[in-house]
Amino acid sequence: MILVAAAILSIIFVIIYFRLKRKNELNRAVLVQQNLSQELRIAQLTSIRAQMNPHFIFNTMSLIQGKVLNGMKEEANTNIQNFSHLMRKVLDFSGKELIPLQDEIDILEKYLAIESDRLDGALDYTIEVEEQLRGEVIRIPSLLTQPFVENAIRHGLMHKTGSKKLQIEFSIDNDYLVVSIDDNGIGRKASEELNKVRRTGHTSFALDAYEKRIALINATQTRKIGLTILDKQHEYGMATGTTVIIRIPLELSTHG
């Protein structure tokens, strides 16, 4: 009876051992798959981020060339410094998931300095940072705001006559970093109509690509990044510009 009991216990032990081993193998396989999925998401995000608009590069080089040919050496040198600094930052950050907020703002400042010069100073822009954010170590998804700023200029303000205003604000609302990008351009509907007529094929950091990027980031987070686009109108229904609001959970800064 002792031998029978020992045999039964041995069989039970072997069954439990192999079940646990199988379960551990399955858990490892799931973990590997999760890691692969995460790497895929990062690779996709990197490929999206790595796009630097060739149209912008061409226009900037033409701007610098024109100033050199007209003997405006100091202005050309300033443009070269801003452009090289911007390109270096973009290349450095294209492989990073998160960067300090101040670096993101620095990219915007260099980009807008170039665009303002290209528009002969007609672009009136401001970047405001809430006092509470100054000195705080906050990280956000790299190069998240610049494409929306570019859209505001390319598709809203570029076609507008008269005053061209762009206001960018960074603030905190509860546990979210809120980025507001507000322009007084011609609005999205009028811009779409112009693009259909011109058939330029230039979409300037297509919005759907960045909505996809936000969706990929959100797939790894409990609290999601929010994106709201508002079409502004005055009382008679005419477009008065566009406002983009991005809400970024502050806990993102503790990951990556």
In a domain, 27, yes or no: no
In a domain, 9, yes or no: no
In a domain, 211, yes or no: yes
Torsion sign, CA atoms 174, 110, 147, 192: positive
**SS3 of 93-132:** HCCCCEEEHHHHHHHHHHHHHHHHHHCCCCEEEEEEECHH
CB neighbour list of residue 78: distance below 8 Å, 6 or more residues apart: 117
In a domain, 35, yes or no: no
Q: Which of 180, 207, 95 is nearest to 141 (CA)?
A: 95
| Domain CATH code at residue 56 | 3.30.565.10
Q: What is the number of structural domains in the chain?
A: 1
79 burial level (CB within 10 Å; 0-12, 13-18, 19+): buried
- pLDDT (tens place) for every residue of the chain, 256 residues total: 676 666 676 777 667 766 777 777 776 766 655 565 565 556 555 555 555 566 677 778 888 888 888 888 888 888 888 888 888 887 787 767 788 899 999 989 999 998 888 888 789 999 999 988 877 788 888 888 888 898 888 888 888 888 899 999 999 998 899 999 999 988 877 777 776 666 554 444 456 667 777 777 787 778 889 999 988 887 777 888 899 999 999 876 544 4
In a domain, 128, yes or no: yes
Strand pairing of 164-173 and 226-233? unpaired
Question: Residue 126's pLDDT is what?
Answer: 94
Please state the separation of Cα 75 from the chain's center in Å. 30
57 vs 23, 71, 119, CA distance in Å?
54, 21, 15
The token duo for 103 is: 């670096």
The token duo for 119 is: 């528009």
Question: Residue 186's pLDDT is what?
Answer: 86
In a domain, 37, yes or no: no
DSSP H or E run through 92: helix 73-93
In a domain, 3, yes or no: no
Question: Residue 181's pLDDT is what?
Answer: 96
Please state the separation of Cα 1 from the chain's center in Å. 72
In a domain, 8, yes or no: no
Range of the domain at 149: 50-254
The token duo for 243 is: 């406002």
Residue 156 identity (one-letter amino acid): G
Strand pairing of 98-100 and 176-183? unpaired
Question: Within 13 A of 179's CA, how many CA atoms are on the CB side?
Answer: 24
pTM of the model: 0.75
**Cα–Cα dist 133/156, whole Å:** 29
